Amino acid sequence: MGTYEDNGLQAWRAMLLASNAALRAIDADLTRSGTIPLTWYDVLLELNAGPDRRLRMNDLADRVVLSRTRVSRLVDEMVMAGLVTKVRDETDRRVVWAAMTDEGVRAFRTTAPQYLRGIEQHFSQYLTDEEKNVMAAALQRVREAHGNVIATPDSLRRNGRKS
């Protein structure tokens, strides 16, 4: 392998390892603080950004970094906990919406400060402002190159591509 490929592989591996370490540390902080788990917070974060704090299950699955099956199970757990509801679309019965409940909004707002502290403590403090800007711009370019959709096996099949 040439230098370019070695640098690319090193950057890729560093991003994965750093992300994994920071996510585990943030999740551990949330667990210790008695708030909802990080995976639940991520679902609520995406729902909170949706119109009327809801998203189609397919769209939610494309936005979170989990398998479609895992998202479905996770949402079912959150329904049981009273944080989310699942509602069938009235005009297209094939579509199911996930929506935040009032309890979900409260859990989201309660967890947000700890989540933001975790990002600062386990990620941001180790980077200069310039590094954060470069990193954000570079990773955004990678994301845009993939059409703003996380390429999961399910999304590849839906778009007619082989996984």
For the chain, the domains span 3-126
Query: 84: closest CA among 99, 71, 69?
Result: 99
- What dotted CATH number matches 3-126? 1.10.10.10
Asked whether the beta carbons of 58 and 101 are under 8 A apart, the reply is: no
Asked whether the beta carbons of 54 and 100 are under 8 A apart, the reply is: yes
Contact partners, residue 37, CB within 8 Å, separation at least 6: 27, 30, 31
Total-model pTM: 0.80
Specify the residue for token string 């936005």. 63
Whole-number Å distance between alpha carbons of 152 and 17: 20
The pLDDT of 112-140, averaged and rounded, is 96
Share of the chain above pLDDT 70, in %: 87
The pLDDT of 30-34, averaged and rounded, is 95
Task: Write the DSSP symbol of residue 88.
Answer: E
pLDDT tens digits for 12-31?
Answer: 999 999 999 999 999 999 99
What is the structure's pLDDT at 157?
38
Q: Is the pLDDT of residue 115 over 90?
A: yes
